[in-house]
Amino acid sequence: MKYDKEINGLKNWIVAEEDFCQEYLGKFESIMYQGNGYLGIRACTEETYPGEVRNTFISGTYNKFHPSEVTELPNAADVIGIDIYINGKKMNLMEGNFKNYSRYLNLKNGELVRNFIWLGPSGEEVEFTFKRLVSLANYHLVAQEVLIKPLSKPVQLKLKSGINGQMTNSGVQHFFEGEKRLYDGKYLNFIQTTIESNIHFVINSTHSFFKNNEYYEPESIILMDRRKIFFEFNDKIEVGQELVLNKLSTFHTSRDKELEKLSLKEIILESLKELREESKKRYNQLLMESEEKWEKEVWSQGPIEILSTDGFDQLAIRFAQYHLRIMTPFHDNRMSVGAKGLSGEGYKGHVFWDTEIFILPYYIYTYPDKARLLLEYRYFTLDGARKKAKENGYEGAMYPWESAWKDDGEVTPVWGAADIVTGEATKIWSGFIEQHISADISYAIWQYYQITGDEDFLIKYGYEMLFEIAKFWASRVEWNEEKGRYEIKGVIGPDEYKEHVDNNAFTNYMAKFAISIAIDCYNSLREKVDQKVFDELNEKIKIDDWIEKWIDVQRKIYLPKPNENLVIPQDDTYLQKEVIDLTKYKNQQQVGSIFRDYNLAQVNQIQVTKQADVIILLYLLEHYFSKDVKKANWDYYEPKTLHDSSLSLSTHCIIANDLGEKELAYQLFKKAAQIDLGPNMKSSDHGIHAASIGGIWQCVVNGFGGVRIIDGKLRIQPSLPENWSKLKFVIYYQGDKLSIEITKDKVMIEKLTNRNREIEILNNQQFYLLKDKLVLKI
Amino acid sequence: MKYDKEINGLKNWIVAEEDFCQEYLGKFESIMYQGNGYLGIRACTEETYPGEVRNTFISGTYNKFHPSEVTELPNAADVIGIDIYINGKKMNLMEGNFKNYSRYLNLKNGELVRNFIWLGPSGEEVEFTFKRLVSLANYHLVAQEVLIKPLSKPVQLKLKSGINGQMTNSGVQHFFEGEKRLYDGKYLNFIQTTIESNIHFVINSTHSFFKNNEYYEPESIILMDRRKIFFEFNDKIEVGQELVLNKLSTFHTSRDKELEKLSLKEIILESLKELREESKKRYNQLLMESEEKWEKEVWSQGPIEILSTDGFDQLAIRFAQYHLRIMTPFHDNRMSVGAKGLSGEGYKGHVFWDTEIFILPYYIYTYPDKARLLLEYRYFTLDGARKKAKENGYEGAMYPWESAWKDDGEVTPVWGAADIVTGEATKIWSGFIEQHISADISYAIWQYYQITGDEDFLIKYGYEMLFEIAKFWASRVEWNEEKGRYEIKGVIGPDEYKEHVDNNAFTNYMAKFAISIAIDCYNSLREKVDQKVFDELNEKIKIDDWIEKWIDVQRKIYLPKPNENLVIPQDDTYLQKEVIDLTKYKNQQQVGSIFRDYNLAQVNQIQVTKQADVIILLYLLEHYFSKDVKKANWDYYEPKTLHDSSLSLSTHCIIANDLGEKELAYQLFKKAAQIDLGPNMKSSDHGIHAASIGGIWQCVVNGFGGVRIIDGKLRIQPSLPENWSKLKFVIYYQGDKLSIEITKDKVMIEKLTNRNREIEILNNQQFYLLKDKLVLKI
């Protein structure tokens, strides 16, 4: 891993690898993956290696292989792979026969470049350069450029390149094979259709060759194999010549919003037309077009500047912004972000609370119109949530722990890793009882509304979701007659190492929060907003029938209070469980190392926490808790938290910073950033950690930058790490764009939009008014 | 490739590879594959490489992935793969970091052995030996032994080994995942079930470790992944120590005859019981048990001795016998031999005429009781053949060109390779119109009966098939009023480069033969054999209604006669087609090279033949044709035959030998043997060539050995190649076992069985009587 590579004057924009190592393919395939929210392609090499995972995903195209398995994003046909033979020898790097190797991902324009000199068995020296992009200018387009230059002697070249539909998801084939065809002697066309959801994928590829910058056609033959269509090209290259191949490929599916109504035949024609158009351009022009979009959509709209003694910090936030962009399906509000983005098979492309709690804040503050689309996704799946509630004997909307397409409902797999004691697969309970997701969605809607003021969203989608979620919680709580309170029994909180617990603090507090919001909305909708909206909603989902119950539950729901040591019990029994020495399992490269010694039933009996649980409650509902309580719980829970989920470190970073533990907070930030960008070469094999990448941004803006919404008010109270001299970023607030520049001793807030209004800003428990510019001392 | 390796005094028994080459993995995976007719496992290495094809097949377990695709043998979970880490580095050989490499297959006992010294990056020298067998003593059992010996310094060893169900058939997943479990802390258990045919596969593995020959248990942990269950073992090995791993695995399916009636649970218990029993033995004992079976079942029953100046010839016939044994499912008459045996995905495990015409003769002459099982398979699929006839508007039994399970009917895929002119996939017509298969089966039944005299088979199965096939042909022929003859129009003959031809000579002659046999059987059954059998059959399939039609067709069917040059027209138009220079396409490493220049429609218009067509007719019905006619047709067709099918060379070898072209015949024998065993490193990638391997035996015994059935009589008229001084083999004839020893000047025939009867033997058109021993001059 190289973090300080400079390309064309770009510094802290480049993630680079300086040596080839076949054992760490997965790491780079994931962190250097490319995409645009529609399409995601792992950074596999053109040549193949054992252990590679060659994935191409298209957002939202879920398919279920068999009724006994859960739906997942299917791995589409591969267009990246190219077999290259030099004088009959298949080029690969495992034999160590290369020099001057480098590969890098340019975060600024999303281009992946690989360059090396290959040393052949007969003294051949051939320089290879591979360039690749997944276009942000045309979501359907993948462009590759391959440059081959013999340095020592002329070489006979053979290339096999085309479309390879033999790909699977770790052995699961989601497609049946459709037609494969060559059009106009030039355009390879391959159809594959998902076996259960019946989505057609239309994939095209075309090749153009240039020598000495002149277009030419080498000897070629079209070949087909099972689920494969490809060309074999044969050519001789002289020393001094450079062969340039431009391979352009397009992906379209019958699930695409704009193609939904077309027949397969029409989609094929449409896609071929598009490829014909695009293939009039050369690779560099396509790169330029995509680069412009990156600049316009991402970097100029949400620039973040970190002046640190360690350039890695600036790189880390750009890495986060790059990945946040490519993982998010902005083109279609029927989709949301998978826990691994589009970077790997991990979590099957399913959507978790990761989106609302860890990723959404970035969009709410930086691209509020995009944030709205992600929340609309939850409206799209509302009927599924209603169905899940009904199936479980509840009312309203019970959101699935893992979510996929509209009707899929709950898609959490039921069986997981081996139980080391019984030898059987462990049952995964999250899909049944990890219920806080429904409150998390209310929280996110409310956060979105508070920051954007988007009343239209509430009316069209938000109110209905908030009310349905409140109904769920009101039907979910159980009345404890003896104690005169409502309780929530038998759940899993964020800490998944504790199953079937009663009154998980996080769940109870968040459930109450969700109900409170619903009550507030009920009142304001009824009294202030719009009687018509209220009447329509009431007609549709009968909120009048629920308001009394909500108020009752809100008043009487049990919230675990800090004990005599100010510690909030994570649940009813946590504090009574055994305390063991966790040193062996903390700070392990390998997450879940405790399961090498204990099975889940045993871990359930120990005071050990997988990930921020009480701690994230202290963050999300921070104004509910005093600083003393925060400190006491930090001291109690941090040592017991293994951070065996990537959702944990960023929250701990923010809380540490809040508590004045600046050095520790900075370390935790680094660790969070290093989950993917760090030296652990195995942690990203199944894909990047989407929530953790959202967390990097949260550490920077919500943590060090101190930007929060407290009780509906914008608070800005920064506290930079020691070695940061400046942090500058923009946020949107209630329709205004603010630039925030933080240095050691002051924060300068500037309103970039020209609307004549003042914004209240909370700092050090005082309110200040921002008109055009505001400078606060730190 | 090394053909003269000697192991433990075994010469011409060893197929060896002396260097590792990742590009030629497929070759050795196929030709060194192991099996027992029930199970076939490609010779993949324990470590994985790009381009490897890791196949495990169980005979007869066909499954159809999707209605749009044809059924095939599914690739079961892999047990062979073991990831080996030495001091954290994953062992593989692509880096060229090894010495003293050798791998060999011992044909005598079916053991595969690999040995080398691996050179690690930190100066490690570690000797690895891998041994493996698929047991002939217990069809369900696979045993592996791995020996690891550090030579230079102690090493930290990590092994990941278990059962990997992520395997596919080139991307097609035929199974859904069932339970995976560890029993008794020791027995890995994995269930997979075919998605359409619903066959359960129960796979178990267990590991035992020995150090200094003492059993011990290294540190281990049980792990599961998607469709995977495996152990991770960790251990340190000192210099001077040798770690020995014995991994035993079993495969059982719910299609197994003896398990068919059991529940899945019962099969699991049964299979675990079996593995527990087997795992009491060490690898060497299991090898001994299997070796004994090889000796008893194969080598002592059907020994063939070739004294040649080139030891390759002896090796080649043993190679053939080895492969014939492992490809043939003797355990179950509901199955037959796939065109690639159990060695690869090629032809999807389907059964062609290859079995009856190229493989069956070996069994009829050498293991007649086994031959019967293969013919019973055709009885098992008779209903499917009746269905196919009906669907096509014919009567009787129209056998599928490609055959799989009972009800599957025709399973030839409909789409093939790319048409280089239109860019579309080429339609495969064989399943529709390559109809000679039905006559080939009659031919095989009759050959079996003539050689064995097995009346019981005819009564139980044979007559019914013969009559049903005759019905088909009688309904298939078309009356040509003008010419006053029956014709067969619109077929494909053995030469698949000619589609939709009329009156293919091979097809017409063979159809007439099939009808003639049926008439003979009708008469003899009615007059001589058993009235009850006749009545029952007549009741069941109404043969009385057909006899007149058969006689009419037999009399009036058009048989293309030799023309003025004595050339038999391959079909009505072949001789009028264009003649081109075929030099470029003959003797190419790559079969089908003509399709690089012409598409199939164009090839149809050229006098070019894919494989023996008229020539094989001259062989199968040799007494119909004079020597002059044979010579004329040889001279005409041989130069036009590209041998683009592996079914071609052995027939040409035999005919060349018949025509006295001894040197050419020997060359053709070598070429036929080299299809798999030769230097073409790519020809066997998709599996061995079962028919060609049967052809090797035919060249030796029917060709050089001169053993044939002519009009129901045993003819023995040898003609050895120049550099063979002796050929000795045994055959069965009418229940007697004969030893035949051929030298330059005489043939000595000895009756090994002690039945008091004389056998008529035809030689040089004279009959001799064999009582105990007979010596004929050559």
pLDDT tens per residue across span B623-655: 999 999 999 999 999 999 999 998 899 999 999
Amino acid type, A646: S
On whether the CB atoms of residues B295 and B335 are closer than 8 A, the answer is no
How would you class A375 by CB atoms within 10 Å of its CB: exposed for 0-12, middle for 13-18, buried for 19 or more?
buried
pLDDT band at A589 (very low <50, low <70, confident <90, very high): confident
CA–CA min distance A44, chain B (Å): 13
From the centroid of its chain, how far is CA A249? 25
Task: Give the tens place of pLDDT for each residue, B183-208.
Answer: 999 999 999 999 999 999 999 999 99
Domain B301-380+646-778, classified CATH 2.60.420.10, yes or no: yes
B611 is in an annotated binding site: yes
In this complex, the residue of A224, A423, A596 whose CB is nearest that of residue B182 is: A423
Q: Cα torsion at A645, A649, A650, A656 (round to 10°)?
A: 150
CA–CA min distance B180, chain A (Å): 7
Would you call A66 an interface residue with chain B, using a CB distance cutoff of 8 Å? yes
Residue B118 predicted with pLDDT over 90: yes
Mean pLDDT (whole number) for A557-583:
96
Residue B675 predicted with pLDDT over 80: yes
Domain extents in chain B: 14-297, 301-380+646-778, 383-444+460-642
Q: Do B94 and A94 touch (CB under 8 A)?
A: yes
- Report the phi/psi class of residue B150: left, alpha or beta, with left for phi > 0 and alpha for psi in -120 to 50: beta
Question: What are the two backbone dihedrals, phi and then psi, of residue A457, each rounded to the nearest 5 degrees?
Answer: -60, -45
Beta strands in A381-421 (DSSP E): 415-418
Q: Which residue of B has its CA nearest to A184?
A: B423
pLDDT for position B170? 96
pLDDT band at A55 (very low <50, low <70, confident <90, very high): very high
Catalytic residue numbers of B? 496
In this complex, the residue of B50, B223, B425 whose CB is nearest that of residue A48 is: B50
Q: Alpha-carbon distance B320 to A542, whole Å?
A: 80
Pairing of strands B415-418, A415-418: unpaired
B133 is written with which tokens?
């067998």
pLDDT band at A660 (very low <50, low <70, confident <90, very high): very high
3-class secondary-structure state, position B118: strand
On whether the CB atoms of residues B48 and B131 are closer than 8 A, the answer is no
Q: Alpha-carbon distance A325 to A36, whole Å?
A: 7
- Report the phi/psi class of residue A200: left, alpha or beta, with left for phi > 0 and alpha for psi in -120 to 50: beta
Helix axes B531-541, B463-476, angle to 10 degrees: 40
Q: Which residue of A has its CA nearest to B192?
A: A68
Q: Alpha-carbon distance A215 to A243, whole Å?
A: 10
Would you call A417 an interface residue with chain B, using a CB distance cutoff of 8 Å? yes
Q: Alpha-carbon distance A775 to A770, whole Å?
A: 9
A227 is written with which tokens?
């689920």
On whether the CB atoms of residues A46 and A84 are closer than 8 A, the answer is yes
Q: Alpha-carbon distance B272 to B455, whole Å?
A: 42
Q: Which residue of B has its CA nearest to A90?
A: B23
On whether the CB atoms of residues B320 and B312 are closer than 8 A, the answer is no
The per-residue pLDDT of chain B, averaged, comes to 96
In this complex, the residue of B50, B96, B226 whose CB is nearest that of residue A170 is: B226
Helix, strand and coil content of chain B, in percent to the nearest 5, comes to: 35, 25, 40
| B-chain residues near A223 (CB < 8 A) | 417-418
B282 is written with which tokens?
């060490």
pLDDT for position A481? 97
A415 is in an annotated binding site: no
Q: Do A229 and B49 touch (CB under 8 A)?
A: no
Per this entry, what is the length of chain B?
A: 778
Task: Give the tens place of pLDDT for each residue, B139-166.
Answer: 999 999 999 999 999 999 999 999 999 9
Q: Which residue of A has its CA nearest to B83?
A: A51
Residues 425 through 454 of chain A touching chain B, CB cutoff 8 Å: 425
Would you call A414 an interface residue with chain B, using a CB distance cutoff of 8 Å? no
Mean pLDDT (whole number) for B178-182:
94
Integer-rounded Cα Rg, in Å, for chain B is 27
Task: Give the tens place of pLDDT for each residue, B210-252.
Answer: 998 899 999 999 999 999 999 999 999 999 999 999 999 999 9
| A-chain residues near B49 (CB < 8 A) | 50
Q: Do A168 and B171 touch (CB under 8 A)?
A: yes
Q: Alpha-carbon distance A493 to A609, whole Å?
A: 10
Residues facing residue A99 across a β-bridge: A117
Mean pLDDT (whole number) for A635-642:
96
**In chain A, % of residues over pLDDT 90:** 91
Residue B418 predicted with pLDDT over 90: no
From the centroid of its chain, how far is CA A620? 20
Residues 6+ apart with CB under 8 A from A531: none
pLDDT for position A619? 97
Q: Which CATH number fits domain A54-275: 3.30.750.24, 3.90.650.10, 2.70.98.40, 3.60.15.10?
A: 2.70.98.40
Which of A78, A176, A230 to substitute to test the interface with B, most B CBs within 10 Å? Answer: A176
Q: Do A423 and B181 touch (CB under 8 A)?
A: yes
Would you call A686 an interface residue with chain B, using a CB distance cutoff of 8 Å? no
pLDDT for position B761? 96
CA–CA min distance B339, chain A (Å): 18
Would you call B173 an interface residue with chain A, using a CB distance cutoff of 8 Å? yes
| B-chain residues near A232 (CB < 8 A) | none
B571 is in an annotated binding site: no
Q: Cα torsion at B184, B188, B191, B192 (round to 10°)?
A: 170
| A-chain residues near B173 (CB < 8 A) | 65, 168, 171-173
Q: Which residue of A has its CA nearest to B597?
A: A221
- Closest by Cα among B26, B66, B53, B39 to B172: B66
Question: What are the two backbone dihedrals, phi and then psi, of residue B681, each rounded to the nearest 5 degrees?
Answer: -85, 0
In this complex, the residue of A172, A173, A222 whose CB is nearest that of residue B423 is: A222
B581 is written with which tokens?
């220079």
In this complex, the residue of B23, B177, B223 whose CB is nearest that of residue A69 is: B177
Helices H / strands E in chain A, number of each: 21, 31
Task: Give the tens place of pLDDT for each residue, B717-767.
Answer: 999 999 999 999 999 999 999 999 999 999 999 999 988 899 999 999 999
Tell the CATH topology of A381-616.
Glycosyltransferase (1.50.10)
Return the CATH superfamily for domain B14-297. Glycoside hydrolase, family 65, N-terminal domain (2.70.98.40)
pLDDT for position B529? 66
Beta strands in B154-213 (DSSP E): 155-164, 175-183, 187-194, 200-211
The per-residue pLDDT of chain A, averaged, comes to 95
pLDDT band at A179 (very low <50, low <70, confident <90, very high): very high
Q: Which residue of A has its CA nearest to B64?
A: A176
A424 counts as catalytic: no
| B-chain residues near A66 (CB < 8 A) | 176, 195
Task: Please identify which residue in the block is written with the tokens 């278990």.
Answer: B162
Buried b (16+ CB within 10 A) or exposed e, B131-167: bbbbbbbbbbbbbbbbbbbbeeeebebbbbbbbbbbb
Would you call A599 an interface residue with chain B, using a CB distance cutoff of 8 Å? no
Mean pLDDT (whole number) for A211-228:
94
Task: Give the tens place of pLDDT for each residue, A265-317.
Answer: 999 999 999 999 999 999 999 999 999 999 999 999 999 999 999 999 999 99
Residues 6+ apart with CB under 8 A from A98: A20, A116, A117, A118, A119
Least confident among B55-59, B267-271, B524-528: B524-528
Element (H, E) at B554: helix B547-556
Integer-rounded Cα Rg, in Å, for chain A is 27
- Closest by Cα among B135, B75, B59, B72 to B334: B59
Q: Alpha-carbon distance B334 to B409, whole Å?
A: 14
Task: Please identify which residue in the block is written with the tokens 């053991």.
Answer: B111
Residue B682 predicted with pLDDT over 90: no
A354 is in an annotated binding site: yes
**DSSP for A304-341, written as a single string:** EEEEESSTHHHHHHHHHHHHHHHH--TT-TT----TTT
pLDDT band at B778 (very low <50, low <70, confident <90, very high): confident
Mean pLDDT (whole number) for A576-603:
88
Residue A588 predicted with pLDDT over 80: no
Q: Do B69 and A420 touch (CB under 8 A)?
A: no
Q: What is the DSSP letter of B641?
A: B
Q: What is the DSSP letter of A189?
A: E
Mean pLDDT (whole number) for A495-511:
97
Q: In what order do the strands lie in the sheet with A56-58?
A: A34-35, A39-41, A56-58
CA–CA min distance B719, chain A (Å): 42
| B-chain residues near A48 (CB < 8 A) | 50-51
Give just the sign of the alpha carbon dihedral A160, B641, B503, B689: negative
Amino acid type, A189: N
Would you call A51 an interface residue with chain B, using a CB distance cutoff of 8 Å? yes
pLDDT band at A529 (very low <50, low <70, confident <90, very high): low
Catalytic hit among A289, A410, A496, A638: A496
Q: Do A182 and B95 touch (CB under 8 A)?
A: no
A68 vs B125, residue with greater confidence: B125
Q: Which residue of B has its CA nearest to A225?
A: B417
Pairing of strands B746-751, B425-427: unpaired
Q: Which CATH number fits domain B383-444+460-642: 3.30.70.270, 3.40.47.10, 1.50.10.10, 3.60.110.10?
A: 1.50.10.10
Cβ-Cβ pairs closer than 8 A, A with B, add up to: 122
In this complex, the residue of A171, A179, A420 whose CB is nearest that of residue B168 is: A171
pLDDT band at B95 (very low <50, low <70, confident <90, very high): confident
- Closest by Cα among B75, B78, B610, B25 to B349: B75
**In chain B, % of residues over pLDDT 70:** 100
pLDDT band at B407 (very low <50, low <70, confident <90, very high): confident
